[in-house]
Structure 1
Amino acid sequence: MSHTPFYGSELTVADCEMLALTRVDPALRVAESLLFTRKWFDYRGHHPVQATYLFAHEYAQAVRRAYAQQKDVRKIGDVKGFDVESLFESRELTAMWRARQAFDAIGCRYEYGLDFIMKRFCERGWRVFPRPNQLYAEEVILDVRDAWNAHCKAVMQLAKHERFLAPNFAGHPDQIAYQSWQIAQVKTRGGNRAMLIARLLQEHVLTEQAVAAEFGDSVLAQAKRFVL
């Protein structure tokens, strides 16, 4: 239930701060405090440097997936992609940082948004995959935002990090925000609300206390009857 390790995930806070201070424009760093309350929940525990490494990793994987689907899966091993390890020595660092921030501002999971953009470019006849500086154009990000919102309405989105599991709830602001977000997702859906809540209880997404506080004890009791 936690993130698969990626290059940069083991960096200390001191390491991250050094890279940010020496390699990233101060104007770009200013926005990070606001983004921490907007980005997808799994990324909220990452330093912005780690988040950018993760975004670069997901970008490289999205290019490989797109190549396999649009061109030749047999030659996917030949795809050079993006050199994640050299990110902070790359001329594309600023573009990658800006693209990651654009995704964080709309709360989109990196993998979903990047796959959407790759598909969008291919459908419009592009013969090469978009570079980092093409990922955060306003039109592109607005399309990603709309697609992500529609996807969230169609499919319940669950955080993968174990700190968002109900048994690990400790009242951290990120955990409270996640519970509130899931409750809002429940409210936007029709059908049997108790069955949906039961699923979220069974998967340890919502705490019983959050369900009772928002929907009442009777709905909680009804939901618990559906839990296997």
Structure 2
Amino acid sequence: MPQVTPSSLGPYFGSNLGFKNYEILTVAHIPKELRKIEPGLMKTKWFDYRSLHPMGAMYLFGSYYATAYQEFYRVAIDAECAPFVRPTKSIDLITTREKLSFWRLRQVVDTLGMPYDFFMSRAMKWYAEQCFRQNAIYAPRPQHISTNEELLADVTVDWEEELEIRLQIPKSSRFRSENFAGHEDQLAYEDFIVGQIQSRHHPVYALKAALYQHEVLRIERAILDFDARTVTEAIAQVCEE
């Protein structure tokens, strides 16, 4: 079971509880039918989260939910009060009545493969726009979001557009080419970033960025997946700078 908490994700409540405590909390609070879903999500969730214990991932997700909730409150309800608003009475999600709703929503986002901050910011923005249209303002709870098929479809479109616009780079340094060790997560990310680059009309610029700006793709992999001219042009652009 993965148990790493990448420091690049920053400190957040619950980030330092450790594998043993995560296991105890998970078995004590999460039904078996939900726990059984987790192994499959390790293949679909955003790459930064694949080394996290599911309980650690829920705490991380909760921190992004809280940030997006405050932004919704700022835009739709009361900008002055927003910094002091919390979505739950307790900062510890596992002690709240909505703990399973948070867990399920996090699983939905992991199935979609999106970064938590991207999903939550777009989901709350979607609800804010709906509230203004309907003149009925209310802050969405996790169960509202996870069961709203229209929202999920719209945010998925947003994510697909985001993938077309810019390369998606993990925060964790384990995906930098200098730290490549052949781990399945690293190989999966290389497949992902290569796919992004190949979808570009002019892949040279994206290839150069992946190789030398973000340093998330090995030159060996680039040679395997791109023609010699594209690789040569990407290298030449760096030499000209």
Question: Which TM-score band applies after superposition, normalised by the shorter structure?
Answer: over 0.9
Q: Deviations over 1:142-195 (max 9, x none)?
A: 22222211211122211111101111111100000001100000111112x222
Q: Establish whether residue 213 from structure 1 lines up as the match of residue 228 from structure 2.
A: no
- Equivalent residue, structure 2, for 1:20: 26
Gaps of 5+ in 1: none
Shift of 1:24: 0.2
- Once residues 222 and 153 of structure 1 are traced to their aligned partners in structure 2, the CA distance between those partners, rounded to angstroms, is 21
- Once residues 41 and 78 of structure 1 are traced to their aligned partners in structure 2, the CA distance between those partners, rounded to angstroms, is 31
Question: Against the structure 1 CA distance between its residues 79 and 170, is the aligned structure 2 distance closer, same or farther, given a 3 Å change threshold?
Answer: same
Contact 2:167 2:206 in 1 (8 A): no
- Equivalent residue, structure 1, for 2:4: none
Question: Superposition pairs for residues 1-228 of structure 1, below 5 Å?
Answer: 2-83=8-89, 85-125=91-131, 126-139=136-149, 140-191=151-202, 193-202=203-212, 203-227=214-238, 228=241
Length, aligned pairs only:
227
- Once residues 73 and 148 of structure 2 are traced to their aligned partners in structure 1, the CA distance between those partners, rounded to angstroms, is 25
Q: Which moved more, 1:174-183 or 1:8-17?
A: 8-17
Give RMSD over aligned pairs.
Answer: 1.6
Q: Deviations over 1:19-78 (max 9, x none)?
A: 111100100011100000100011111100000111111000001122223344333233
Q: Which moved more, 1:4-13 or 1:30-39?
A: 4-13
Contact 1:103 1:141 in 2 (8 A): no
Amino acid at match of 1:55: F
Gaps of 5+ in 2: 1-6
- Equivalent residue, structure 1, for 2:3: none
Q: Which moved more, 1:201-210 or 1:71-80?
A: 71-80
- Once residues 69 and 169 of structure 1 are traced to their aligned partners in structure 2, the CA distance between those partners, rounded to angstroms, is 42
- Once residues 11 and 55 of structure 2 are traced to their aligned partners in structure 1, the CA distance between those partners, rounded to angstroms, is 15
- Once residues 146 and 52 of structure 2 are traced to their aligned partners in structure 1, the CA distance between those partners, rounded to angstroms, is 21
Amino acid at match of 1:206: L
- Once residues 186 and 115 of structure 1 are traced to their aligned partners in structure 2, the CA distance between those partners, rounded to angstroms, is 25
Q: Give me the TM-score of the superposition, normalised by structure 1.
A: 0.93
- Once residues 77 and 169 of structure 2 are traced to their aligned partners in structure 1, the CA distance between those partners, rounded to angstroms, is 32
Shift of 1:138: 4.8
Contact 1:53 1:84 in 2 (8 A): no
Shift of 1:83: 4.8
- Once residues 121 and 216 of structure 1 are traced to their aligned partners in structure 2, the CA distance between those partners, rounded to angstroms, is 45
Q: Give me the TM-score of the superposition, normalised by structure 2.
A: 0.89
